Amino acid sequence: MSSFENVTVLTKANVYFDGKVTSRTVVFADGTKKTLGILMPGEYEFGTDAKEIMEIQSGELKVLLPGSSEWISISGQGEFTVPANSKFKLEVSVVSDYICSYINE
Amino acid sequence: MSSFENVTVLTKANVYFDGKVTSRTVVFADGTKKTLGILMPGEYEFGTDAKEIMEIQSGELKVLLPGSSEWISISGQGEFTVPANSKFKLEVSVVSDYICSYINE
């Protein structure tokens, strides 16, 4: 089973949208950070600070990336990248499990 | 901020009750295991294999421990212990963030 090893995990959850979006912060030995999160069905808009790579491990959702007018559908597994300092929208139809990587450039 | 260090985290979430209860598994160097979880509002019954120590970090809920007829209320932080191979009920009124420790005796 896939895992992150030799990491630090913050015990407190990150909670957004009344708990419909939650995540746990994982810090790696090199100081980089990922979150492991859950998206409950719903519609959300998020803003980024760093560039984000969102890997969907399971679930079903559509994403509208910044500057795009076309929704991308992901069912099961998929990945998308969001530039730093931008906004993106999600329409989640099935509970989705994700890994978000934060890329400082 | 409180954290678990030098641990392994499984990337895939544990998902129960249509995602209303989710958790992440953390494995420590000594092989012991905890989960970091989120309880959305709702009513749930859980069964234990190992003995469990449930530490509520935030939220609001009531717990009915096995063999008890009295619901215990926790608002904010609190802790309860559930024996191995037993069942307990939760009534969660506010999104709750927990740490569950599994104790093999």
Rg of chain B on CA atoms, in Å: 13
- Local structure of residue A41 (DSSP, 8 states): S
In tens, the pLDDT along B6-24 reads 999 999 999 999 999 999 9
Residue of A nearest to B26 (CA): A9
Q: Which chain B residues have any C-beta within 8 angstroms of a chain A C-beta?
A: 1-13, 15, 18-20, 22, 24, 26-27, 36, 38, 40, 57-58, 95, 97, 99
* Residue A105 confidence (pLDDT) above 90: no
Pairs across A and B, CB distance < 8 A: 93
Q: Which residue has the tokens 């409180």?
A: B2
Q: What is the mean pLDDT of residues A25-52?
A: 98
In tens, the pLDDT along B52-84 reads 999 999 999 999 999 999 999 999 999 999 999
Neighbours of B98 (CB within 10 A): 26
According to CATH, the topology of domain A8-103 is Jelly Rolls (2.60.120)
Q: For all residues of chain A together, what is the average pLDDT?
A: 97
The contacts of residue A80 (CB under 8 Å, 6+ apart) are: A53, A54, A63, A65, A72, A74
| Chain A residues near residue B12 by CB distance under 8 angstroms | 1-2, 57-58, 97
The contacts of residue A57 (CB under 8 Å, 6+ apart) are: A77, A96, A97, A98, A99, B11, B12, B13
The torsion region of residue B44 among left (phi > 0), alpha (psi -120 to 50) and beta comes to beta
| Chain B residues near residue A26 by CB distance under 8 angstroms | 9
